Amino acid sequence: MTAATHAAPAEGTPRAEHTRLFSPWVLAIVAVQVAVLLAMSTRYGYHRDELYFIVAGSHAAFGYPDQPPLVPLLAWAMNAIAPGSLLVLRTPSAIVAGLTTLLAALIAREMGGDARAQVIAAACTAVSGFALAVAHLVSTTTFDMLSTTALGYLAIRAVRRDSGPALLAAGVVVGLGVEAKPQVGLVAVVMAIALIAIGPRKPLRTWWAGAGALVAVALALPYVIWQQQHGWPQLTVAHNIAGSQEGGRAGFIPFQLVMVSPVLVPVWFAGLRAPFRRPTWRNLRFLPTTYVVMAVLYLVGNGHAYYLASLYPTLLGLGAIPTAVWTLRKRRRTGLLTAGIVVSAMVSSIIALPILPERDLQ
């Protein structure tokens, strides 16, 4: 059987997307990822942000000067369950990272990707530097990655399957996501504008879209009201820390090349351009458009380069399908991709995880 014959189903036709079985290898990747994160969770002691989260969460409120309430309240609750246990404190972060990896694979499956494409999506997401860096401890970015990836998955389902319930679920995800980190709300607004501007507009004309928007606003409203009542302190904080990391504007674009892994850039870049290259994916052009607009907004606003991290699992899920086709055209390409994933896992682990002895860091 020729490589072309193998590659044909990976094009992601509407008919194929309903018949693709979910690969059990994806669950194995998720299990290994979570296990590694938990194994690393007790090293190096508390991060200063975690201590702040615990203290802030002990003073329950609808918001705090620099963030919404969900992560501080969760950190306080986990510490209350097992005081002083880093393992218990950081377990939710490891689980959230695993769910994000699972969603990346589900995005590939939703687009008709077979087991190979699903495994590529999951593996690339699991070994990404950003995923390991923020998921072995408590971080608002970890939860932002999950909510933004879930939003991407539900948006794809809504467009591809004309699914109203997916739009309602997206509203729930955005509303809850804002209570962890506000960026997902901005992504949702930009995504809606992209749908209006370049289409498809049909999903936004349904009552499901209106209901989803109302649910999102209702869930996010307590935090928004708190911010308004206290003079929008998070905007002040954001202004004060603008450009304080990753080299500011000068380092913004180079940092994107290492966010996943330098050798895996072609995978997410394939996801960025696939909706413009594949006729059957035309209705997904709003996704790369959303990424580009968000990048411009953060670049112009001097935002942190890692703010774009939450969009990469969706791009990896999309890019896994053309990458899978690419590997099937020549046998050695599978080996090259595998080597790239292994090298990325090793380098990302050394850089992002607390693996090295503490004395070597002094």
One pLDDT digit (tens) per residue for the chain, 362 residues = 333 333 334 444 434 444 457 889 999 999 999 999 999 999 888 999 999 999 999 999 999 998 999 999 999 999 999 999 999 999 999 999 999 999 999 999 999 999 999 999 999 999 999 989 999 999 999 999 999 999 999 999 999 999 999 999 999 999 999 999 999 999 999 999 999 999 899 999 999 999 999 999 999 999 999 999 999 988 888 777 665 565 567 788 888 988 899 999 999 999 999 999 999 999 999 999 999 999 999 888 877 888 899 999 999 999 999 999 999 988 889 999 999 999 999 999 988 888 877 666 55
- Long-range contacts from 41-49, C-beta under 8 angstroms, 24+ separation: 41/86, 41/87, 41/89, 41/90, 41/91, 41/94, 41/136, 41/137, 42/86, 42/87, 43/354, 43/355, 43/358, 44/354, 44/358, 45/86, 46/86, 47/137, 47/138, 49/137, 49/138, 49/139
The answer to whether 112 and 123 have CB atoms below 8 angstroms apart is no
Q: Cα separations (Å) of 184 from 20, 24, 60, 169, 202?
A: 29, 30, 23, 14, 22
pLDDT for 104: 97
> What is the rounded distance in angstroms from the CA atom of residue 168 to the CA atom of residue 252?
34
Q: How far apart are CA 81 and CA 13, in angstroms?
A: 48
pLDDT score, position 222 = 95
**Helix/strand/coil (H/E/C) assignment for every residue in 322-354:** HHHHHHHHCHHHHHHHHHHHHHHHHHHHHHHCC
**The model's pTM:** 0.90
Tokens 């411009």 identify what position? 296
User: What secondary structure letter does DSSP report for 307?
Assistant: G
Give CA torsion, residues 329, 324, 326, 270, to 10 deg: 170
pLDDT on residue 66: 87
Per-residue pLDDT, 356: 77
Q: Where do we find the tokens 């923020």?
A: 134
pLDDT in the model for residue 8? 37
What pLDDT does 361 receive? 57
Other residues' Cβ atoms within 10 Å of the Cβ of residue 241: 13
Contacts of residues 74-82 at CB distance under 8 Å and 24 or more positions apart, as own/partner, are 74/138, 75/50, 75/138, 79/54
Q: For residue 64, what are the β-bridge partners?
A: 67
Distance CA 68, CA 61 (A): 9
Tell me the H-state helices in the chain. Answer: 3-7, 14-17, 24-40, 48-57, 70-81, 86-110, 115-126, 129-135, 140-161, 164-178, 183-198, 207-229, 233-241, 248-259, 265-277, 286-300, 312-329, 331-352
| pLDDT reported for residue 359 | 65
CB 67 within 8 A of CB 4: no
The pLDDT value recorded for residue 154 is: 97
